[in-house]
Amino acid sequence: MANCFVSTVRIVVLLLAAANVFSLQAAEIPTATPEDVGMSSQKLARVDETLEGMVEQKRLAGGTVVIARRGKIVHFKSYGLADIEKQRPMKNDAIMRFYSMSKAITSAAVMILADEGKLDVNDAVSKHIPELAGVKVATAEGLVASKREVTIADLLRHTAGYTYGGSPQAASDAAFRKADPLDYQRTVGQMSERLADVPLAFQPGEDWNYGISIDVLGRVIEVASGQKLDTFLKQRIFKPLGMKDTGFFVPENKHDRFAQVYNSDGKGKLTVGDNEGGRNFAKPRAFLSGGGGLVSTARDYLRFLMMIQQGGTFDGKRIVSEKSAQLMTTSQLPDGVPHIYFGDQQRVGVGFGFGFSVREKMSDWDPTGRVGEYGWGGLASTHYWVSPKDDLIVITLEQTLPYSFMTEFAVKGLIYDAIED
């Protein structure tokens, strides 16, 4: 009798597993011809020619481009090699270092908690991380008290005053380098402790600077949810969206799909890159970097972007509220901060929401873009953008250092030109 019961349980478990696999297969994003969604196959062929030419010229080892319009994939192709030394071709399921493309996912996790009332974007960060209360601000005259506390909103839109050690404020940068908060042998909790003695580069909300803010949010997520960051992301985003290859490291059984990273001299010479900097993505590590620690695939990230584009839902599952998706994809920069910038590179017309850069008006910066377009990129020259007006999502992936817009800028105009309605 007992054996019969055990057998029955095993059958039920197998049936449930099979049903789960079937549901994942059924939820795959549909495909269409370009003409089905108002695009030209002939014009999109120029994307292939461009990428193939860049590979031939050794401007990149290999890459992947996925284009989706009106909820359907119309172009999904890979080019060149994922590993030159092993002559392993780049494939659509290649796993890559996404670096700062992690930021939008972590930001979405924050908005999930905001939707549930476990935090508020106007909360002082110190409410969740007491070590960061009373942080000083570095000025030319020395350290001064901050006029107000850094908020979660400041972290989401990069107006907190935190840096990566590369801001114009020398005193703040020196303290950042001394504290070394991005030590990948430590946890995000230990990162917060080290960051407590690092002064801000400016008064909260009064300027914009790209920095460690999203990693700080990773710790906020852990405190507000009571879970480690990787567990929360897996349960609340990756699993519901079917992002089966996304995480903080590449499991050993997937190493044969892990693309190599290359340094490019811009003149046709590629050498194996050594940019792990303690972030060995091939094995688990202590520091879960919400700002730059994820690996993923084109397929997985497309599912995430489609969820955002569809107002927070995907395949019948709501991940974030419609309001939160809107806050992420429209500029939330405070008055007095007109646009984002990197050093002398002024991105006029580009704001920042609670997760993405947002094109608010046209300018000399990226003149092929569209108003309303939102997106971002990652250190190894990975990029994506979404154009709500055109119901279009584009992801361009490669593993090339130093960071550049080469591939995105090479194909963006071609892709927009292929829209014929």
d(CA 329, CA 101): 15
Residue 276 is predicted with a pLDDT of: 56
pLDDT, average across residues 161-177 = 84
3-state secondary structure of 193: helix
133: tokens are 């209360």
Q: What region, left, alpha or beta, does residue 95 occupy, with left being phi > 0 and alpha being psi -120 to 50 degrees?
A: beta
357: tokens are 């850069």
* Cβ-based burial of 101 (10 A; exposed 0-12, middle 13-18, buried ≥19): buried
CATH code reported for the domain at 34-110+228-417: 3.40.710.10
Query: Could you give the percent of the chain with pLDDT greater than 70?
Result: 92
Asked if 313 and 319 touch (Cβ cutoff 8 Å), the reply is yes
d(CA 204, CA 211): 13
pLDDT band (50, 70, 90) for residue 280? confident
Residue 343 is predicted with a pLDDT of: 85
Residue with tokens 């030590």: 183
pLDDT digits (tens, 9 = 90+) for 65-93: 999 999 999 999 999 999 999 999 999 99
Asked if 69 and 353 touch (Cβ cutoff 8 Å), the reply is no
d(CA 264, CA 244): 30
Domain ranges of the chain: 34-110+228-417, 118-225
Q: 70-74, 121-125, 283-287, 416-420: which range is least confident on average?
A: 283-287
Longest dimension (CA), the chain: 82
pLDDT digits (tens, 9 = 90+) for 12-34: 444 444 444 434 444 799 999 99
Question: Which residues contact residue 279 at a Cβ distance below 8 angstroms, ignoring those fewer than 6 apart?
Answer: 184, 285, 287, 289, 292, 293
